[in-house]
Amino acid sequence: MGSIPGAYSDTPQEANAVRVLLASHQTSDRFTLMEHRLPPYDPGEPRHVHPCQSEGCYVLEGMLVVTQDEQTITLGAGRATHIPANVPHTYWNPTGTPTVVLLIYTPAVAAEAIPTLATGPPGGV
C-alpha cells in the first residue's frame, strides 16, 4: 500500500500508525475509514466513548481484543465487530505480532477530530 492523500500518518508501516483511507469529504460526510496498526502487546486505546459516531472494527492481520461495556471479545483476522455510539470501549493487541485493523466511523468525523478518535477524549471513561 502506498501513501494515501489526506492520511493522518504518511508512514503506513509505522507501529501504532493511524491512516485515513477515506475522509469525510470523500464520502459526503457519511463515514470515515481508517487503518490502525498496533505493534506487539500494544495496550491500545484508553477506555472511551464516541458520543456521535458508531465504530466498526475489522481485523486485517493479527488479533484484537475489544471490550465494550463489560463484554470482552477476541477477534482474529477476518473478524469484525460493531460498537454503537456512546458505548464505553477499548481495544488492544494481546499478542507478540502486529495487528492491523480497519476502523469505520459513522457518521463521518472531520480530520481535526481524528487524533481524539484515536486516543479517546481527555480523561477517558
Tell me the pLDDT tens digit for each residue of 57-90.
Answer: 999 999 999 999 999 999 999 999 999 999 999 9
Q: How many Å apart are CA 107 and CA 50, to the nearest integer? A: 11
Average pLDDT over residues 25-45: 93
Q: What is the mean pLDDT of residues 25-32?
A: 94
Which residue carries 502487546 as its cell? Answer: 41
pTM exceeds 0.85 = no
Nearest Cα residue to 83 out of 54, 44, 113: 54
Share of the chain above pLDDT 70, in %: 77
Which CATH fold topology does 18-119 show?
A: Jelly Rolls (2.60.120)
Pick the residue with more confidence: 121 or 99? 99
